[in-house]
Structure 1
């Protein structure tokens, strides 16, 4: 037996690894439940200061397990049982009050797109590519794939990717703003770990407030945003990290942040 989703916590960095390499890290009922459990475990860990989500093997996540779908007695019932739990996990992962990095180590398709793009920062390998896949088998997006594509690349590009199901390579994804950086395959893990370590040493309470301000900015008026900014600035200024950051700046030294 093996764990379909691996979890490691070291020096404040939590690493989640999708671990079905022989099946393209596709999500079936078992791995979906494992991912939900890992995200719930992650949220209960106060020691987590940054998160990396990646895949094992040569693919990040090709989406749902087509073989499981094919053999399901009732495909709609299968989706109804699994999708809400997975959606809750994706939402909780994206909304963590600390930086989330996705290290997309290879192809991502279907629901794998939603997972790949749910990070605050998305790093990709040169072999990474996206492929919608849903409409090719008569289904529609899940795990936030449509939202992430539209948010990062705009509605027109999202529809092109999801309508045509043509592979979109790493460099094109970078040009479209779908990913934030592209690295050679053999450097991606190293770069993701280095970035996570850098962020984990930072003011993670500040990062959490920044996430809430930026992620919700499109739904608020300027007045509402200014009010929230004021509240967060006052809270930050009264925190240990806020005082430490200002003091370190004046003393021309590196701050030592405790985070959330």
Structure 2
């Protein structure tokens, strides 16, 4: 079985981490295949929303420690970060399509931080998030030190990263780490509904919104206002804007094409 599964249906690409026997922990093969799959989703015009989830009981347990402790298999930490995790996070943030992290179980270490890099994070009520790095003498990577403090504040992020506490899905929602928590019974249905809703929205505008949010991390107010002006003009030239305005005037539901 491939370590990454891809299903495309009705504008939604479902990308599934598929090493359930290791709680979907990353080895080199899976990390590189996830990058290829994200690239495929990016260039496929039929894909207008992406769901990243895991197979089995876990979302992702982070790095496969059997790989890094094997003299034959260990690629070394520099290669793991620069060729595995950093390119994954960069793709998640640069693809101008909405990406949902559907956290179906434990998300630990790099697995937690890759989820937090996505545009919208939802979780099953039994899921948990763990900044597990300090437990084995490492530092948080996969952009965790960038996103987590911005999501929940420096004080909470520092504590979770230093202490390595397990955070339940409901606690994560209260902290602001994620958008919504769904019950075990409704999780898959709610994820499908959310993904389909995004896939039928104006993809061009959503992508420009994502670009603005990325730049808001580094821009000052003047720079952000100028960028909003430029991108609003670009959005106003899209087919979806014309459709949205016409649908509003005609009192009907718009049919967006993502153009």
TM bucket by the smaller chain? over 0.9
Q: Do 1:72 and 1:78's aligned partners in 2 also have CA atoms closer than 8 Å?
A: no
Q: Do 1:40 and 1:89's aligned partners in 2 also have CA atoms closer than 8 Å?
A: no
TM-score by length of structure 1 reads 0.94
Q: Distance in 2 between matches of 1:64 and 1:124?
A: 21
Q: For structure 2, list consecutive stretches of 5 or more residues without a partner in the other structure.
A: none
Q: Matched residue of 1:219: which SS?
A: coil
Q: Do 2:133 and 2:139's aligned partners in 1 also have CA atoms closer than 8 Å?
A: yes
Q: Distance in 2 between matches of 1:72 and 1:141?
A: 24
Q: Matched residue of 1:139: which SS?
A: coil
Which residue matches 1:244?
A: 243
1:205 aligns with 2:199: no
Q: For structure 1, list consecutive stretches of 5 or more residues without a partner in the other structure.
A: none
Q: Superposition RMSD on alpha carbons, in Å? A: 1.5
Which residue matches 1:82?
A: 80
Query: Where does structure 1 differ by over 6 angstroms across 4 or more consecutive aligned residues?
Result: none
| Aligned residue pair count | 258
Which residue matches 2:21?
A: 22
Q: Distance in 2 between matches of 1:218 and 1:139?
A: 26
Q: Distance in 2 between matches of 1:172 and 1:238?
A: 42
TM-score by length of structure 2 reads 0.95
Q: Do 1:105 and 1:185's aligned partners in 2 also have CA atoms closer than 8 Å?
A: no
Q: Distance in 2 between matches of 1:90 and 1:221?
A: 23
Which residue matches 1:49?
A: 48
Q: Distance in 2 between matches of 1:88 and 1:31?
A: 13
Q: Distance in 1 between matches of 2:22 and 2:247?
A: 49
Which residue matches 2:111?
A: 112
